[in-house]
Amino acid sequence: MGAAMTPYLVHLNAMTGGLFLLAAFAIVATRQMSACLRWFVAQSLLLTASAAVIGIGLGSGHLAAVAVITFLTKVVVTPWLLRRTVRRELYSRREISQVFNIPTSLLIAAALTLLAYGVLYPVTALGVGAFAAINLPVGLAGLFLGAYTVAVRREALAQLIGLLGMENGAFLAAVSIAHDLPLIAELAAAFDVLVTALVIGLLTRRIYDRVGGTSVGLLDALRER
Amino acid sequence: MEERILYNLLQVVVVVGLSPLVGGVLDRLKEIVQSKRGPSVFQPYRDIWKLLHKDEIVSEESTWLFRATPYVAFVAPIFVTLLIPVLTRYPLFFAFMGDMLGGGFVLALGGFFVALAAVDGANPYGTMGASRTRMVGFLAEPVFIIVFFTVSFVAGSTIPYIVQSVWINPLSNFFAPSHVLTMLAFLMLILAEDARIPVDNPSGHFELAMIDKSKALEYSGRGAALMKWAGSMKLFVLAIIFLNVLVTPWGLAESTAPGEVLLAIPLVLFKVLLFLLVLVVVESSLAKLRLFRITEFLGAAFITSVVALATSASGI
Q: Which residues contact B180 (CB under 8 A, 6 or more apart)?
A: A15, A18, A19
Angle at A212 between CA A207 and CA A217, to 5 degrees: 70
Residue range(s) defining the domain that contains residue B17: 2-313
**Residue A154 near residue A134 (C-beta atoms within 8 A):** no
Q: What is the CA radius of gyration of chain B?
A: 19
- Ranges of H-type helices in chain A: 6-29, 33-58, 61-70, 78-85, 88-92, 102-124, 130-152, 156-177, 183-211
Q: Which of A164, A168, A160 is nearest to A86 (CA)?
A: A160
Kindly state whether A118 is in contact with chain B, defined as any CB-CB distance less than 8 angstroms: no
CA dihedral (B131, B133, B138, B139) positive or negative? positive
User: pTM for the full model?
Assistant: 0.87
Region for B38 from its dihedrals, namely left if φ exceeds 0, alpha if ψ lies in -120 to 50, beta otherwise: left
Q: Where in chain A are the domains?
A: 6-218
**Residue B280 near residue B29 (C-beta atoms within 8 A):** yes
CB-based contact B307 A22, cutoff 8 Å: yes
CB-based contact B177 A133, cutoff 8 Å: no
The count of structural domains within chain B is: 1
Kindly state whether A110 is in contact with chain B, defined as any CB-CB distance less than 8 angstroms: yes
Kindly state whether B311 is in contact with chain A, defined as any CB-CB distance less than 8 angstroms: yes
Kindly state whether A219 is in contact with chain B, defined as any CB-CB distance less than 8 angstroms: no
CB-based contact A11 B311, cutoff 8 Å: no
Instruction: Please list the pLDDT of chain B residue by residue as tens digits (316 residues).
Output: 788 889 999 999 999 999 999 999 999 999 999 999 888 999 999 999 999 999 999 888 889 999 999 999 999 999 999 999 999 888 888 888 888 888 889 999 999 999 999 999 888 898 999 999 999 998 999 999 999 888 888 888 888 888 888 888 777 778 777 888 899 999 999 999 888 888 888 877 787 888 888 888 889 999 999 999 999 999 999 999 999 988 888 888 888 888 889 999 999 999 999 999 999 999 998 888 888 888 889 988 998 898 888 877 765 5
Angle at B59 between CA B58 and CA B60, to 5 degrees: 115
Write the residue in A11, A25, A133 that is nearest to B176 by C-beta: A11
Q: How far is B176 from chain A (nearest CA, A)?
A: 5
pLDDT digits (tens, 9 = 90+) for A87-117: 777 677 665 667 788 888 888 998 998 899 8
